[in-house]
Structure 1
């Protein structure tokens, strides 16, 4: 970009104080402005931090989020916007791209946390924690003994990781430490690495019959939307479990619900859904073989600082014209 003084950056009031030191270190004349201020209309860059989106989802926008979105739309000179998430599939982000605004995401900020969440789902289902917690609520002493209650050893089981970005790679590493055999399904056909059987997304049907854990960690694209269809779900063995820390629309949710209700799958850990918040009437809430998480896989107390640093680094590159 051509240097302008001062450069106006639209951000939340809450985030401004945390950004101050990093902004000052850039050695540029930068003015942080907020919705409601007259100078907000002059913004050439915007930072969508987690506190802005808050409890809003792709499907339901809270008033405080819409207030910021309105300010972004009113900034006629806006050229670049950075978002706290790893994905840019929200309608608002797509809208800004269509009007010519460059939109960047916080790739890598939450990779480790999301991978740990996926592993938590695997371990919780493998060790039958939902059953144990229900027994605890009933004050019932029910050891994991007997047919269909004794957990299967994880070592030697096959997991398929769908998506090979930073999250998928970390998930695979964690699973290998536990002794699982890992296969990878990815957009391209390049081998994921030594000892990792790799297929393209359209090759999943060849490996699902031998899969115990199907772990979704891919972005939502035209290729991955509806990728895990009813047909593919039916190819999984009955003891298999599904972990979804990707996007709800990667899997056919009605087909998944039916498979879980009919015990065609052993269980699922779901952090994402067709509609968020998950409607109160969804049968997912009451499925005893499901752990439902409110799209929180990437939440951690260290994430805002990592996102903030990515934004500041990108801001410097944007000013220099190298972003």
Structure 2
């Protein structure tokens, strides 16, 4: 009888083939002794120390299903290389796309400035009244209409986000490891993107945390953006050189930024990011809602039981 361990951080009810049973475990406690022969572990919201503990104690484990789009925490936990790892790719496309669009629009419409003015009970004529036409001299980035948006990490989330940006008038392109066309949008490599950055109004980061992406958004990248551009990160905080970003915002070399993720989470109280008036922060709120998790689990558990390839394989 195959045992699948389900986390208590989310209500799950996958379809199970004959010969498979489930048990719900507390992600904040050690896996009970009677369940340590489990072959499958589903991870969602597990603390890093408990994941590492599971890697040491679950000696019969054959597969870990992460419900996160980026399974970096599972990959870093120390599971045996023979243990398959699958991700929650696709489960977060809608929520993350919505949150990203909200952040971009908030920067375009200067909503953080409006909130601060409202807290001062100040009716700001700079924010309202007559405004420059989008795209005209001196307008900066104030609208998606005609804006040039570059998405670094053009995967399934970007494929969900891009049509919404297009509907509002943006010109969208992507950056990925290989060039071509994805979901109907042009995609270039990182090297080719260096020529696009000076003509970019919005740079969106949806990159996973890997050795290759660590601090890939560095001072060189930020300096190539025009001063009116904005930067949005809904990928991973490790992909950004935060010191370079702070300096770019402080020096006026970048008009604004919105971060849903930071290099250290929770963000320390003494971080200079808190004090930047042109930076909008949300507390890793873009995801957190794995839509369709039961369907993914049902499909993958059935495939695992039959000895067939799994969806969203990260490590075989």
CA shift in 2, pair 1:317/1:274, >3 Å: same
Aligned partner of 2:192 in structure 1 is: 203
CA contact (8 A) 1:162 1:185 kept: yes
1:48 counterpart residue number? 43
Contact 2:178 2:189 in 1 (8 A): yes
Matched position secondary structure for 1:164: coil
1:314–1:96 distance in 2 versus 1, CA, 3 Å: farther
TM-score by length of 2: 0.86
Residue of 8, 16, 22 corresponding to 2:3: 8
Residue 219 of structure 1 deviates from its aligned partner by: 2.0
| Matched residue SS, 2:4 | strand
Say if 1:133 and 1:110 are closer, same or farther in 2 by CA, change over 3 A. same
The answer to whether the Cα contact below 8 Å between 1:106 and 1:311 also exists between their aligned partners in 2 is no
SS in 1 for 2:36: helix
Q: For 1:23-102, list aligned pairs within 5 A.
A: 23=15, 25-32=16-23, 34=25, 35=30, 37-50=32-45, 53=46, 56=47, 61=48, 66-67=49-50, 69-90=52-73, 92-102=74-84
1:262 pairs with 2:251: yes
Q: CA separation of 1:314/1:276 partners in 2, compared to 1, >3 Å: closer, same or farther? A: same
Mind listing any 5+ residue stretches in structure 1 that lack a counterpart? 1-5
CA separation in 2, counterparts of 1:193 and 1:140? 44
Which residue is 2:169 aligned to? Answer: 179
Aligned partners of 1:84 and 1:106 also within 8 Å: yes
Matched-pair contact (CA < 8 Å) for 2:144–2:165: no
Quote how far apart the aligned CAs of 1:96 are. Answer: 3.9
Shift of 1:39: 1.7
Unaligned runs of 5+ in 2: 133-137, 311-316
Tell me what 1:309 maps to.
295
Shift of 1:168: 1.2
- Compute the displacement of 1:180 (Å): 0.7
User: Which residues of 2 match residues 273-284 of structure 1 at below 5 A?
Assistant: 273-284=262-273
Change (3 A) 1:29 1:239: closer
- Tell me the CA shift for residue 193 of structure 1: 5.5
- Residue in structure 1 matched with residue 210 of structure 2 by the alignment: 221
Whether 2:156 is the aligned partner of 1:154: answer: no
CA distance in 1 between counterparts of 2:31 and 2:210 reads 35
Identify the residue that residue 3 of structure 1 maps to in structure 2.
none
1:169 pairs with 2:159: yes
Please report how far the alpha carbon of residue 221 of structure 1 lies from its aligned counterpart in structure 2 after TM superposition.
2.8
Aligned to 1:141: 123
More helix by share: 1
1:38 shift after superposition: 2.7
After TM superposition, the score normalised by the length of structure 1 is 0.84
How many pairs align? 297
Q: CA deviation at 1:95?
A: 3.6
Q: Distance in 2 between matches of 1:13 and 1:80?
A: 18
